[in-house]
Amino acid sequence: MALQRDAYRALEDIVGPDNISEEPAVIDSYCRSWGEEYLVGEGFRWMPRFAAVALPGNTKEVQAIVKACNRWNIRFKAHSVGYGPFMCSMKEGCLSLDMRRMNRILEINEKGMYAVIEPYVIGAQLQAELMKRGLVTSMIDPGAMTTALPLVPGSGEGSIENAYANTHRNQLGLEWVLPTGEILRTGSLGSGAGWFCSEGPGPSLRAIAAGTASAMGGVGIFTKAAVKLYHWPGPPVLPVEGVSPSYRLKPEQKWFGFWFFTVPSYEKAAEAGNKLGQSEIAIVLQKSFAWRIAADSGRSMDEVMKNFREVYDQIEGKGRVGGWIVMIGADTQREFRYKERVLMQIIKDVDGELLPFLEDSPDTKLSFMSRWTRSSTCDRECRRAGGGRYSAFSNIDSIDHKMNVARVSTDLKKEFIEAGRIWDDGGDQGVGNFGEHGRVGHVEQIGMAHATKEGFAALRDYIRRSREMMLNPKYGITSVTLSTSPVQPEERERMSSGYLYNEHVWVQKIKKAIDPNNVSDATFYSSE
Amino acid sequence: MELGRLEALREYMERCDRCSKCKFIPMERITSWRFSAGCPSITRYNFHTYSGAGKQTVALSLIDGRNDEISDKLLEIIYHCNMCGSCDMACKYSRDMETFETLQQLRITYVENGYIFPALMPVIDGLRKQDNMMQALKADRGKWAEGLEVKDITREQAEVYFHAGCQYSFDHELWPAVKNAINLLKKAGVDVGIAGKEEACCGGHAYELGFEAELIKYAEHNMGLLKEARVKTLVTPCADGYYAFKVLYDKIGKKLPVEVLHITEYLARLVEEGKLKPTKNLPITVTYHDPCNLGRKGEPYVHWDGVITKKPTEPSLHEPPKEFRRGTYGVYEPPRDILKSIPGLRLVEMERIKEYAWCCGAGGGARDTDPDFAMWTAHERITEAETTGAEAIVTACPWCKRSFIDAINQNGSRLKVYDIVELLQEAT
């Protein structure tokens, strides 16, 4: 479905002819990512085609595009580096706005400890520039190649959030082009006081901007945001050595350490997690399991499978629970020794055992430190072999609650493994990051299956069953569940009305209020 | 349209989930915002389509039957690319994929189905008529060696065959590098010969453009030449030639029965053995540019003939296990060893080096298909080199050297451009 010629010409005038395209090959490259067949539904191998793709270069262009969309009644869907069907619309004829040209780090304020960025700045770029100044901030777990703009990612959690907070919580001032084309500046920015604060004066708009599980492009376009920064105890350049795919931290990084220990039970896992959080010693506090350790230590999937059995035998094979990954960083040797001693005491207190697979391989530990700090644990773990994957049960809550969820969700996952429907990764035992020194966090159960009709059917069933379990108030509805539900409005309403205080109704009201012409595509945000 | 070649890569295309790592250098290697990009094509043109992931989706769309109209724009997307392999290396840091192979097979598929980028026709016509990629006369091929007392392997036997390559043979401004290479080899006592006007193109550049038949033709020609000459070693100063002789000939089942070395590998060996002694002081600060075809793409070809399993309870595995080419074993150290052996010379590294080096702009035929893009890419590299404080950028490939010279002529820079051989000659 093509745009009207006068509308296309108007958009072309705004961004320039080199920055807009309706070429079928260009459009098709925006219509497929991953998960369409099971997150959206059977038959969705490709998402509906956009009418055109435009690349705005600044806020002024974004604003002009949005106004043009209102004038010609064109739906738009903005996205940056993100991936997944979330960047697409369920309706043909939508205008895709790829924010790639808005990729500047506008300011790094060392004194005020914030950075102002545009949507296409990625985590690795920002981190590299921050480290030079002895600063750092959180990055989301899907990877350092995803946007560093705090509100955009679906869940906002990542490996270093224990010390540097969930990315959603790091959002400060925000510049936001509303679906009407007006520019809204929130927090201190809105009062002309700079970027340093996300709240007030007046009611906070953070929740409206963020949505229950990210606004998914449904409330307009975030064009700039300030992100909160933290002290970085490491060197100004991430000291990496080796040749791909075997990068590792240089061994002379004496004041950084990485450990993984197992525990006898989920109760002990909770106890350990709470103690580690309260001690405030760790940069990374991550519930983990055999598959993650094996997957990240192998150069190829073939190597992973070899490692997996060895690691599995050292955890689940011994009847133990995959406990905690802990990474420590310190400014001084004294500080490092203190943190290390605290960690060892906690491991002792909970009958923990360090994993021999890692303790026997200092090089693997160094490569993990490099990757956990900068890259992503997801890539090798659940993307490398292709196929489909779904992270179930991944809502954010306390450590005690999440260990309980880890236990019961493992049973569900094992049921699917035993039925031969999803890949046997040992049953998972729950994997996830905890943030702000253990105060909040999540675990998920990643179900993986082949990209086949049977594999996708298995994942759809896995999603359905995990959602049913999450409707039990003991476990809680996941943000991911909600974000993928709008395509099944009845189900969203069923979940929301029962357990989330009619969240869907509120979202619809908000949407109507700020987008009277319904031009900011609400797929994955709100049912209509 | 015959799509069998692409269909064979479907599994890998479907694995791509648009994570965008192919657009950047590996995340752990990023040291600044300014030099974090890996792929020149997406960096210049911005639409996702131009990235490795985007082109894989274009290929998937084609084999899914969604996009069978071959427009000029589509050809432009496919050919506004340096084929530098950066996307492939960045992807394979954590994935088991064949991103670059998809790009290569897309080009071959289009050519085989009669869709040829117009600017390439004169280049290919020239190759077919004159056996070179420079649209120059075959008869002039050996002129660079006039005055050098060097054996002609078509008439005399020699241990080492020196293949100058098309760019060095016909680009007069670059002749000092090849002349110096011969001088150094002779100085070290190497029994070296050339083929003069009988030397023919390696076919590698044509293959990158999508013309596979030309690669096969020249592989057979060169194999015959070497067989007749009974040489033991082939040495080339051209990174493209090295990639063809070492990697592509093996890939198409025509592995040469001789040792194949890039001139930097051979000279580094001679320096290490004490047969070449760089003793003259060269007080200069230089930075080294890794040519893509010598670096990440230059690692040996690894054949794999097997199946990808789909057992319900385990991930897809390659049976037998497949060794992916990830850029790990490219030629990175020999050029640096040579530079470090030169007294007084100081080597300072750019941010993007070795397997994640930025392309010079000449790769993939971009100088013909999109000259502005090729110059922009080269200029980006010159800018990066300037930030190191170096006085010169040194490389080991005539295509890179030509690109850098042209970029400096066009945009200006204080940097000098050297082939590594020239510096070694100066110091020896």
Q: Say yes or no: B66 contacts chain A, CB-CB below 8 A.
A: yes
CB within 8 Å of B243: residues ≥ 6 apart: B204, B293, B294, B297, B298
Q: Do residues A245 and B326 make contact, with C-beta atoms less than 8 angstroms apart?
A: yes
Per-residue pLDDT, A358: 97
Of A25, A53, A143, the CB nearest to B58: A25
CB atoms within 10 A of CB B346: 16
Q: Do A81 and B58 touch (CB under 8 A)?
A: no
Q: Chain B: residue nearest A245 by CA? A: B93
Give how far B351 is from chain A: nearest CA, Å.
11
Contact B326 A452 (CB under 8 A): no
Total domains in chain B come to 1
Range of the domain at B126: 119-272
Asked whether residue B289 is assigned to any structural domain, the reply reads no
Q: Decide if B60 contacts A30 (C-beta within 8 A).
A: no
- In this structure, how many other beta carbons lie within 10 angstroms of the beta carbon of residue A329? 25
Q: pLDDT category, B338, cuts 50, 70, 90?
A: very high
pLDDT of A205: 86
Within-domain flag for B236: yes
- Residue B82 at interface with chain A, using a CB cutoff of 8 Å: no
Binary contact (B355, A244; C-beta < 8 A) = yes
Q: What pLDDT does residue B340 have?
A: 98
pLDDT tens string for chain A (528 positions)?
A: 799 999 999 999 999 999 999 999 999 999 998 888 888 888 889 999 999 999 999 999 999 999 999 999 999 999 988 778 888 998 899 999 999 999 999 999 999 999 999 999 999 999 999 999 999 999 988 889 989 987 765 567 889 999 999 888 899 999 999 999 999 999 999 989 999 998 877 667 888 888 877 888 899 999 999 999 999 999 999 999 999 999 999 988 779 999 999 999 999 999 999 999 999 999 999 999 999 999 999 999 989 999 999 999 999 999 999 989 999 999 999 999 999 999 999 999 999 999 999 999 999 999 999 999 997 778 888 888 888 988 888 778 899 999 988 998 899 999 999 999 999 999 878 889 999 999 888 888 899 999 999 999 999 999 889 888 887 777 776 666 666 665 677 777 777 777 777 888 888 899 999 999 999 998 888 776
Find the closest chain B residue to A242 by CA distance.
Answer: B328
DSSP structural state of residue B320: S
Find the CATH number of the domain harbouring B225: 3.40.50
Minimal C-alpha gap between A200 and chain B (Å)? 32
Cβ contact A80:A510 at 8 Å: no
ipTM attached to this prediction: 0.96
Residue A394's pLDDT is what? Answer: 77
The class (CATH top level) of A5-99 is: alpha beta
Chain B, nearest residue to A299 by Cα = B94
| Exposure on the CB side of residue B19, measured as CA atoms within 13 A | 34
Q: Please answer whether residues B100 and B82 qualify as being in contact, where contact means their C-beta atoms are separated by less than 8 angstroms.
A: no
Angle between helices A266-279 and A333-349 (to 10 degrees): 160
In the DSSP assignment, the letter for residue A387 is S
Determine, for residues B48 and A101 on separate chains, whether the beta-carbon distance falls below 8 Å. Answer: no
* pLDDT at position A482: 63
- Beta-carbon count within 10 A of A340 CB: 17
Residues from chain B contacting residue A122 (CB–CB below 8 Å): 20, 24, 36
Best CA proximity match to B50, nearest among B69, B76, B72, B26: B76
Residue B192 counted as domain residue: yes
- pLDDT at residue A486, as a whole number: 59
> Taking CB atoms and an 8 Å cutoff, what residues of chain B touch A142?
19
Q: Quick one: how far is CA A364 from the chain centroid?
A: 25
pLDDT confidence tier of residue B91, bands split at 50, 70 and 90: very high
Cα separation, A363 vs A361, in Å, equals 5
CB contact under 8 A, A302 and B24: no
pLDDT computed for residue B275 by the predictor: 98
Nearest CA in chain B to A381: B94
Q: What is the mean pLDDT of chain B?
A: 96
Best residue of B15, B32, B94, B326 to probe chain A, by most A CBs closer than 10 Å: B94
A366 CA to chain B: closest CA distance, Å? 12
Q: Which residue of B has its CA nearest to A372?
A: B28
Query: How far is CA B75 from each of CA A200, A234, A451, B69, B244, rounded to the nearest angstrom?
Result: 52, 47, 30, 11, 24
Task: Enter the pTM of the model.
Answer: 0.96
pLDDT at A161: 93
Q: B10 in contact with A at a CB cutoff of 8 Å?
A: no
CB < 8 Å to A379, chain B: 19, 21, 94-95
Q: How far is A323 from chain B (nearest CA, A)?
A: 24
CA distance B373 to B44: 7
Q: What is the dihedral of CA A220, A225, A229, A234, to 10 degrees?
A: 90
pLDDT recorded at residue A483: 60
Distance CA(B191)–CA(A474), nearest Å, equals 81
Taking the CA of residue B313 and the nearest CA in chain A, the distance in Å comes to: 4
Find, among A281, A320, A268, A301, the residue nearest to A426 by Cα: A320
Cβ-defined contact of A385 to B96 (cutoff 8 Å)? yes
**Angle, CA A295 vertex, CA A290 and CA A301 arms, to 5°:** 130
The CA distance from B426 to the nearest CA of chain A, in Å, is 31
Beta carbons of A379 and B95 less than 8 Å apart: yes
Confirm or reject contact between B15 and chain A (CB < 8 A).
Answer: yes
Q: Using CA atoms, how far apart are residues A429 and A323, in angstroms rounded to an integer?
A: 9
Identify any residues that bridge with B347 across adjacent strands, giving them in sequence order. Answer: B286
- Among A21, A45, A450, whose Cβ lies nearest the Cβ of B47? A21
| Cβ atoms of residues B315 and B377 within 8 Å | no
Q: Distance from B321 to chain A by nearest Cα, in Å?
A: 6
A306 interfacial to chain B (CB closer than 8 Å): no
Output Rg (C-alpha) for chain B, integer angstroms.
Answer: 21
Phi/psi of residue A115, nearest 5 degrees: -125, 145
Residue whose C-alpha is closest to residue A217's, from A173, A154, A143, A126: A154
* Residue B13 C-alpha from the chain's centroid: 24
Whole-number Å distance between alpha carbons of A395 and A264: 25
Residue A36 DSSP label: I
Residue B200 resides in a domain: yes
Whether A147 and chain B come into contact, CB under 8 Å, resolves to: no
Q: Among B20, B30, B310, select the one facing A128 at the smallest CB separation.
A: B30
Long-range contact list for B276-279, CB < 8 A, 24+ apart? B276/B184, B276/B187, B276/B188, B276/B424, B276/B428, B277/B428, B278/B341, B278/B342, B278/B343, B278/B424, B278/B427, B278/B428, B279/B343, B279/B427, B279/B428
Does any CB of chain B come closer than 8 Å to the CB of residue A85? Answer: no
Backbone angles phi, psi at A201, to 5 degrees: -70, 155
> Which of A301, A380, A423 is nearest residue B313 as measured by Cβ atoms?
A423
Please indicate whether, in this complex, the C-beta atoms of B327 and A145 are within 8 angstroms of each other.
no
Return the closest-CA partner of residue B162 out of B195, B202, B129, B205: B195
Interface check B34 vs A, CB under 8 A: no
Q: Is the CB of A25 inside 8 Å of chain B's CB atoms?
A: yes
Which residues neighbour B224 within 8 Å (Cβ) at sequence distance 6 or greater?
none
Lowest mean pLDDT among A161-170, B100-109, B301-310, B394-403: A161-170
In total, the C-beta contacts within 8 angstroms joining chain A to chain B are: 212
Write the CA distances from B120 to A142, B125, B219, B366, B397, integer angstroms. 41, 8, 21, 10, 22
Flag whether B16 is in a domain: no
| CB of B141 closer than 8 Å to CB of B197 | yes
Rounded CA gap, A334 and B189, in Å? 59
Whether B251 is covered by a domain: the verdict is yes
Lowest mean pLDDT among A385-389, B101-105, B341-345, B362-366: A385-389
At B26, list the tokens: 């590996």
Q: Could you tell me which of B331, B149, B327 has the C-alpha nearest to residue B236?
A: B331
Cross-strand bridge partners of residue A76: A95, A520
CATH code that applies to domain A251-481: 3.40.462.10
CA distance A421 to A408: 19
Cβ of residue B310 closer than 8 Å to a chain A Cβ: yes
Q: Is B47–A29 a contact, with Cβ atoms under 8 angstroms apart?
A: yes
SS3 B40: helix
Can you list the alpha helix ranges (DSSP code H) found in B301-360? 333-341
Across the interface, whether the CB atoms of B66 and A28 are under 8 A apart is answered: yes
Q: What is the mean pLDDT of residues B37-62?
A: 97
Percent of chain B with pLDDT over 70: 100
Interchain proximity A128–B318, CB inside 8 Å: no
In this complex, is the C-beta atom of B46 within 8 Å of any C-beta atom belonging to chain A?
A: yes
CATH class of the structural domain A105-231: alpha beta
Q: Nearest CA to CA, how far is A27 from chain B (Å)? A: 8
Question: Does the distance separating the beta carbons of B95 and A25 come in below 8 Å?
Answer: no
Please report, to the nearest 10 degrees, the dihedral formed by the alpha carbons of residues A188, A190, A193, A199 taken in order.
-10
HSE-CB of A520 using CA atoms within 13 angstroms: 30
Nearest to A83 among B17, B69, B92 (CB): B17
Predicted confidence at residue A371, as pLDDT, reads 93
Segments making up each domain of chain A, as ranges: 5-99, 105-231, 251-481, 482-514
- Note the pLDDT of residue A484: 61
CB atoms within 10 A of CB B237: 29
Residues B378, B403 contacting (CB under 8 angstroms) = yes
C-beta pairs of A406-413 under 8 Å, 24+ apart in sequence = A406/A266, A406/A269, A406/A287, A406/A430, A406/A443, A406/A445, A407/A266, A408/A469, A408/A475, A409/A443, A409/A445, A409/A466, A409/A469, A409/A475, A410/A445, A412/A445, A412/A462, A412/A465, A412/A466, A412/A469, A413/A445, A413/A447, A413/A462
Searching chain B, which residue's CA lies closest to the CA of residue A367?
Answer: B28
Single-letter residue type at A244: S
Q: Do A243 and B328 touch (CB under 8 A)?
A: yes
Q: How confident is residue B369, by pLDDT bands cut at 50, 70 and 90?
A: very high
* Nearest partner of B324 among B76, B78, B12, judged by Cα: B12
Where is pLDDT greater, at A476 or B205? B205
State what percent of residues in chain B have pLDDT above 90.
Answer: 97
